[in-house]
Amino acid sequence: MQKIQIDLHERSYCVLTGNGILKDVGKIIKNYEAKTNIALISSEHVTKLYKDTVQKSLIENGYKVHFIKMPSGEKNKNFATVQYLYDRLLDLQFDRSSVIVALGGGVLGDTAGFVAATIFRGIDLIQIPTTLLSQVDSSIGGKVGINHERGKNLIGSFYQPKVVIVDPLVLKTLDFRERVSGFGEVIKYGIIKDRIFTKFLLENFDEILSLNNMEHVNYAISRSIEIKSAIVSSDEKEDSLRMILNFGHTIGHGIEVSEGYGVFTHGEAVIVGMCGAIKLSSDIGNLDKAESEKLIKSLTKIPITPMVENLKEHEVLEAMYHDKKVKNGKIRFVLLNKIGENVVRDDVTDEQIIEVIKWIKELKFG
């Protein structure tokens, strides 16, 4: 089992990764002073797969477990689901001495995390992410929240868990498209911080996505967590450095919102958004054109399901203006000077954004 520290002073915690550690959850959280009254929250799909394993481990280690099933899907990452979870916790007579264990993907973790942050002004939270996307991204760093019809993750907070438990073997029950979605965030970490890691990912993405080489999968997960943990430890609340984690997300979030949640997975939209950001980095920034073209060519080999040719550029732009990355009425982009070196720009014009979305619509993926 590997232990990666998120250093946030009194809010510090560990991310634990290891094949097969799901069955030892109860034993593991004893080391983190987890309170004994637990709400185990999971989605319908994950419930069928892993709820019994986790619940059995918790009960065997002396925990009192109340199970709550949460509606699945991005469309349920909203106030109605939060209200439902509040009601269930209050019905169970939970109080500030209780703990939420979030077992599932990013939607589940973000929503249950938001509930943990806000009920009784905050109760303990343990994250057990079951998708590649949530293992390397959403469960780490303390961002919790829900969507608004005008934008993704507009309602939320920063709230750190007690511990994050990552078992790469659960990815064997994850469908291929969701693995691709998670890989979008994995490759993002390489591009913004580590040229060697980027090269490794682009050379081995077939084996990683197919799970044919678990050593490669484990390395991709652990290195991604290391990169994110270093960034979050330096900038917990996105005051400066953490902004680079939004590489590919400016256009990506615009695509998710304008197309309707669920048409593009988050990672698919980020992959498309990274292509757009790389193109802008070359056209209006300092990124070498040959390097830009090579990187875009590599990214377009990743198979994504939706058709980018159907994007409506003005609707994507409008959605981008409602995103939380807008500051003083200006859309902020994370662009590249080179792989591993970034710059945040707020001077990209609407006309340039429209042109790059038109360019994106000509790309062929997979």
What is the pLDDT at residue 140? 93
Query: What is the C-alpha separation between 77 and 153, in angstroms, rounded?
Result: 9
Q: Which of 78, 103, 100, 77 is nearest to 89 (CA)?
A: 100
Q: Is the pLDDT of residue 347 over 90?
A: yes
What is the pLDDT at residue 228? 95
What is the pLDDT at residue 32? 80
pLDDT one-digit tens code per residue, 256-288: 999 998 899 999 999 999 999 999 999 999 999
Query: Is 366 part of a structural domain of the chain?
Result: no
Q: Are residues 21 and 48 in the same domain?
A: yes
Q: Which of 183, 173, 34 is nearest to 104 (CA)?
A: 173
- Neighbour-count burial for 297-323, b at 16+ CB within 10 Å, e otherwise: ebbbebebebebeebebeebbebbebb
Q: Are residues 167 and 224 in the same domain?
A: no
Q: Which domain holds residue 10?
A: 2-173
pLDDT one-digit tens code per residue, 148-179: 888 788 899 999 999 999 999 999 999 999 99
- Mean pLDDT across the stretch 49-76? 95
The set of residues, in sequence order, having a beta carbon less than 8 Å from that of 75 and lying 6+ positions away, is 261, 262
Query: What is the C-alpha separation between 38 and 58, in angstroms, rounded?
Result: 9
Query: Is 37 part of a structural domain of the chain?
Result: yes
pLDDT one-digit tens code per residue, 180-189: 999 999 999 9
Query: Is 365 part of a structural domain of the chain?
Result: no
Q: Are residues 220 and 318 in the same domain?
A: yes
Q: Kindly report the number of other CB atoms within 10 A of residue 223's CB atom.
A: 21
> 17 has which bridge partners?
2, 166
pLDDT one-digit tens code per residue, 85-133: 999 999 999 999 999 999 999 999 999 999 999 999 999 999 999 999 9
Cα distance from N-terminal residue to C-terminal residue, the chain: 34
Q: Are residues 284 and 227 in the same domain?
A: yes
Q: Kindly report the number of other CB atoms within 10 A of residue 265's CB atom.
A: 24
What is the pLDDT at residue 36? 86
Query: Is 265 part of a structural domain of the chain?
Result: yes
By CB atoms closer than 10 A (0-12, 13-18, 19+), residue 281 is buried
Q: Are residues 181 and 156 in the same domain?
A: no
What is the pLDDT at residue 181? 96
